[in-house]
Structure 1
Amino acid sequence: MFIEREALKRLTYQKYGDSPTIKSYTKWKLFEENSPLKLPTEAKGGEVPIKGHIVLSGSDVEFSLPGGVELSEGTLGLSQPEESRILGFHFYALRKTYRLRITRDLVEPLVIVSHLSANAFISHHISIEAENVRAPIIIYDLTKEGTKSLVVELKAKNAELEVLTVGRHSSLSHYLLRASLGGGTRVKAFTVISAGEMSHHREDYSLEGAKSELILRGMPIAIGSSVDYLTNVLQYGERSKSETRVHGFSYENGWTVHRGVAKVLESARNSSSGVISQVTIMDEGSLGVSVPMLEVDTGEIESAFHSSAVRQFDEDALFYLRSRGLDSDEAMSLFVHGIGEALSSHLERLRSKARSNVRELIEGLL
């Protein structure tokens, strides 16, 4: 799974160039300038603000696994270093991989924390297997300094999973969640990203089994920062269902991009699929890009839909706040930062309430 330096040099960041329909919105030059070829690939663990069952900080790792979760080493093989230069960097810097197997229902969330607070290029890699279980999972992706790459592989069969991903970045971050959903699996996922200097966040879901289902909600937020958020859903299984809804925000010269793909293959008869993407631009100088794409290869389809919107901040809401004595900058700052406060309060309620689960958080944010 690892890659040699010479093989790494031959890889490109993407297979398609900047064409009228396919464009790179990730500032790859920043990753090139802060790659594992130029930065140290080991770092001491820092002070992690969140407790977890698996805490990876720098090159350090701590485990305090709950009952019903087994630990081993290795990957599920859902990602390969030859796919792209950024994944090549990930595997080049990777020192160890960890594999978790959920063997029974979990009442409280399994919490995974990936953290970096040093000027280095650090890779973390976690694989999760779940079969015939119900489980909530929270993934914290925290990058304060340096460049961190986190890859999460997920394989589920006849399982019901709730996955919350929280990205909080100050510097450079690469994230890949790649999931294979077998028959009878239902996944409800919510992702919120507070972008850093450049956050490249990608989620790939393959609905391979009959009646597999995915509900995906995303909220990328860039305040004086940049995020390129990619969601890819491939449906192979009959009567599978997927629905992706993303609402991003950009503010203070922020750069928020969502590119969402949903593809229903010929084998996925009687399925439904949809992608709704919108980005709200809060002020002049900020960038918002929404690129949803839908492809259906079968004529036997229940429903298929997609929509895109890039809009300015609601002037009526701005007028209301200004009528309460705030100027324009104060009103928009209150609105954007209020989103973060609302998310934080939900997270605190989730962490402190006994026998809580991720469904409560996700449904409260829809």
Structure 2
Amino acid sequence: MSITDLLREGFQRHGDSPTVKHYSDWGVYRDVFEKLANGELGLERKILVEASGGVRIEGRGEISLYELNSNLSKYHMILSNEAIVAGFHGGKGFINVKPVAEAGVNIGNLIARIDSPGTLVLKVVNNVSNGLLLLGLNVNVADNVEASIIVDVEEAPGSASSINFRVGTGRGSISNLVFLLSPGRMMRMEGLIRPGDNSLMLARLTGVLNENSRIDAVVDGLIDGLNTTLNLYSTLYLSKHSTGSVRGRGTISSKASDARLVYGFESILEEEAVAYMQPFLEVNSNRVLEARHYARNYLVTVDKLFYLATRGLSFSEAKNIVLTGLLTSLMPGELRSYCYSEIKRRMRSLPED
């Protein structure tokens, strides 16, 4: 099937939320792919990947995308399914990812294999101002490995992206996963988290949205083994005129036993920002220790910052302290330290009230 054929199908999958049109700006993707099909935009089938610390580039492989929530994965696979394979062998590791060109469609895929304990930071900088970044990501944690993973995506204000991921962990693993996201004009993220037997997965999605930026994140989880825990927490900060949504379905299969599953979504809104938080649980087993979900929104108001302001801080400083603390809560120490400094830096670049 060609891109031209796919354009007739559109992007929204049948059976998705009837109000999905309010989440993703499909016009961004339609315009880009129409221009690509007409030869008006260039195409780069590679990304720049640099590795340091405990990471080594180990060859090439084939990406496995999560093909459930939209047709963007079909466009992605038509253009490229070849991936760079990076191995993380313990300690501290860094992977830096950048598009090759600042215009057109840039597509690239990365497989990160984690076989030893440590902390891996995967930094993605998207500066494609006239086009789109398509990024496929597979993260695989080996059996009995304790790992912390940060996927840090920072975009220029005019950039757009589609990020598709799969995260899988082995038996007996303990994983702390943080997605730290700063979208441009449109970021669509969709993927699956699948922990193994006797494993613990604590996942956190944290977003800092500038004015007029938009994100739609669909994060599904699947527990289908024994004695498995998956906790997914999300917090978005939305400045004025931004739109954010986090949705996802956490599923406990009929094969699961002694499962724990929590989906908790929150947003912190400035005036004239819009947020949609929709966690779902699907429980198909009666051998469940815990299954719960929640969603809530907070509005940033002057009275909530008054106490700190009376202690000598400006309202801007008080707001940044409160927001940075909320956005990094429930993170373990090393991940919190990284995210705290990054969020503080990004907060400074936001417009003053």
**Which residue is 1:237 aligned to?**
225
- In structure 1, the gaps of 5 or more residues are 44-57, 347-357
Return 108-117 or 137-146, whichever deviates more.
108-117
**Which residue is 2:133 aligned to?**
148
Deviation at 1:161, TM superposition (A): 2.3
CA distance in 2, matches of 1:26, 1:255: 9
Equivalent pair of 1:249/1:288 in contact (CA under 8 Å): no
**Which residue is 2:41 aligned to?**
40
Equivalent pair of 1:18/1:24 in contact (CA under 8 Å): no
CA distance in 2, matches of 1:342, 1:291: 20
**Which residue is 1:186 aligned to?**
174
- In structure 2, the gaps of 5 or more residues are 341-353
**Which residue is 1:136 aligned to?**
119
**Which residue is 2:344 aligned to?**
none
CA distance in 2, matches of 1:221, 1:68: 28
Equivalent pair of 1:17/1:24 in contact (CA under 8 Å): no
Equivalent pair of 1:136/1:163 in contact (CA under 8 Å): yes
- CA 1:227–1:84 in 2, change beyond 3 Å: closer, same or farther? closer
**Which residue is 2:254 aligned to?**
266
Q: Deviations over 1:11-54 (max 9, x none)?
A: 442323675576651101111112243553446xxxxxxxxxxx
**Which residue is 1:296 aligned to?**
283
1:92 is aligned, of 75, 78, 98, to 78
Q: Deviations over 1:144-185 (max 9, x none)?
A: 213101110123331322110112112111112212223222
- CA 1:230–1:337 in 2, change beyond 3 Å: closer, same or farther? farther
Residues 120-269 of structure 1 aligned to structure 2 (within 5 Å):
120-131=104-115, 133-144=116-127, 145=129, 146-158=131-143, 159-169=145-155, 170=157, 171-207=159-195, 209-224=196-211, 225-269=213-257
**Which residue is 1:312 aligned to?**
299
- CA 1:23–1:234 in 2, change beyond 3 Å: closer, same or farther? farther
Identity %, equivalent residues: 16
- CA 1:359–1:320 in 2, change beyond 3 Å: closer, same or farther? closer
Equivalent pair of 1:12/1:84 in contact (CA under 8 Å): no
CA distance in 2, matches of 1:41, 1:210: 44
Residue 85 of structure 2 aligns to which amino acid in structure 1? R
**Which residue is 1:72 aligned to?**
59
Equivalent pair of 1:231/1:260 in contact (CA under 8 Å): yes
- CA 1:299–1:96 in 2, change beyond 3 Å: closer, same or farther? closer
Deviation at 1:65, TM superposition (A): 5.5
1:61 is aligned, of 20, 44, 48, to 48
Equivalent pair of 1:154/1:178 in contact (CA under 8 Å): yes
CA distance in 2, matches of 1:342, 1:7: 45
Q: 3-state DSSP class of the match of 2:14?
A: coil
CA distance in 2, matches of 1:95, 1:304: 35
TM-score, normalised relative to structure 2:
0.80
Deviation at 1:70, TM superposition (A): 5.0
CA distance in 2, matches of 1:83, 1:244: 18
Residue 124 of structure 2 aligns to which amino acid in structure 1? D
* Aligned-residue CA RMSD (Å): 3.3
CA distance in 2, matches of 1:83, 1:201: 10
Residue 34 of structure 1 aligns to which amino acid in structure 2? V
How many equivalent residue pairs? 328
- CA 1:65–1:247 in 2, change beyond 3 Å: closer, same or farther? closer
**Which residue is 1:113 aligned to?**
97
Q: 3-state DSSP class of the match of 2:171?
A: coil
List structure 1 runs of 4+ shifted beyond 6 angstroms: 340-343
Deviation at 1:9, TM superposition (A): 3.8
- CA 1:16–1:276 in 2, change beyond 3 Å: closer, same or farther? same
CA distance in 2, matches of 1:24, 1:42: 29
- CA 1:60–1:197 in 2, change beyond 3 Å: closer, same or farther? closer
Deviation at 1:230, TM superposition (A): 2.0
Deviation at 1:143, TM superposition (A): 1.7
CA distance in 2, matches of 1:156, 1:66: 18
Residue 134 of structure 2 aligns to which amino acid in structure 1? S
Residue 299 of structure 2 aligns to which amino acid in structure 1? Q
**Which residue is 2:349 aligned to?**
none
TM-score, normalised relative to structure 1:
0.77
- CA 1:128–1:115 in 2, change beyond 3 Å: closer, same or farther? same
